[in-house]
Copies of this chain bind each other. A is one copy, B any other.
Amino acid sequence: MSFGKTAVLGVGLIGASFALAMKKRGLCGHVAGFGRKEANLLRARERGIIDSYDIDPARVASGADLVVFSLNPGAFRETAKRVAGSLKKGAVVTDVGSVKGGLVREMEDILSREAFFVGAHPIAGSEKSGIETADPDLFEAQKCIITPTDKTDGAALESLVSLWRSFGADVVTMDPYEHDRVFGAVSHLPHIVAYELMNSADEIDGSYLGYCGKGFRDLTRIASSSPELWRDICILNSDNLAAFVDTFIQRLERIREYLARADAEALEGEFRRAKSLRDGLGQD
C-alpha cells in the first residue's frame, strides 16, 4: 500500500506527525497541506513536513489518493463539504480525530459519492500542540482505533489498516458509537475533570496554587490542552459526556456524605477499590 499525493487537512501535531510518518516510510509521493494560518503552513513546508500548501482545502484535496482530516473535529463537516466536489474517484478519506459516532455517518454521507471514508483515531498526542513537537514515530506502539461501518469499502479499510500498521501502531477496529463511549470515559471525561479541578482550585483561592506538588501537576497537566479542540470534542460527544459527568458527580456526592458524617470506613472502601483498579493498570 502506497499513495501518490496525500492531502493533510490541518497541520498540527497529529497532522504533521502523520505526514512525517508517511515520508519516513516512503509511502507517498507528495504531501499537500491545508490550514487556516499561512505562517504555520509555510513553516511546515520549510521543515519538510509538507511539500506544498494552500488555504483552500479543495485545491489541496484535489487529485489526492489519500485525504486526512486532522483539523479540530468541529470543522470536519464544513471542510468535507468544501472538498467533496474535488475528490479523485476512489480516493481514501480518513481522519485522526477523537470523536467518531454520528460524525462518521455524516462524513460518509458528504463524501461517499466519489471517495471512501474510513474513520481512524490514533491514541497519541498530549497536552502539547503544533508542529514543533511533530514526530514520525509518534504512533509507534500506540493503539489506533479504526471505526468501520456497514457502508465502509473493504479495500479502503484494508489499505488504512496496513498504513497504520506500517507506522507501528496497534490497530483495533471498533463501532463508531462504542468508540465514543470508550473514549468519553477514559479521555473526554478526564479532560473535563482536569479543566474543572484547575478552575476549582483557583475559585477556592488562586494563591494556593503556589503550593501545588507533583500530584496536582499530574492531574491538571491535560488542562493545558487546546480549548478549541476540547470544546469540539465535548460538543460532538455531549450525550455520552453528560451521562458520564452525572456518574462522576453522583460518586462525589457520596464522598461528600461520607465526609459530612466522618465515615472513615466508607471512605477507605472507596479509596481501596480505586487503588486496586489503578494498580491493575500497571506502571507507566
Contact = CB atoms under 8 A, between A and B. Distances in A.
How many copies of this chain does the complex contain? Answer: 2
A197 B247 CA distance: 10
A38 interface: no
Given A185-B205, A197-B190, A248-B197, A235 B264 contact: yes
Contacts of A225: 271, 275
Contacts of A234: 259, 267
A132 to B, nearest CB: 14
Which DSSP category, helix, strand, loop or mixed, fits chain A's interface? helix
A209 interface: yes
A181 B198 contact: no
Interface in A246-278: 246-249, 251-253, 255-256, 259-260, 262, 264, 267-268, 270-275, 277-278
Interface stretch (A24-32, A55-63, A216-224): A216-224
A216 B143 CA distance: 15
A260 B278 contact: no
Contact of A249 (B201, B228, B244, B253): B253
Interface string A184-203: 01110111111111111111
Interface of A: 74, 123-124, 126-127, 142-143, 145, 181-183, 185-187, 189-206, 208-209, 211-228, 230-232, 234-235, 238, 241-242, 244-249, 251-253, 255-256, 259-260, 262, 264, 267-268, 270-275, 277-281, 284
Given A192-B255, A196-B251, 6 more contacts: A185-B201, A190-B215, A200-B251, A215-B222, A219-B222, A245-B252
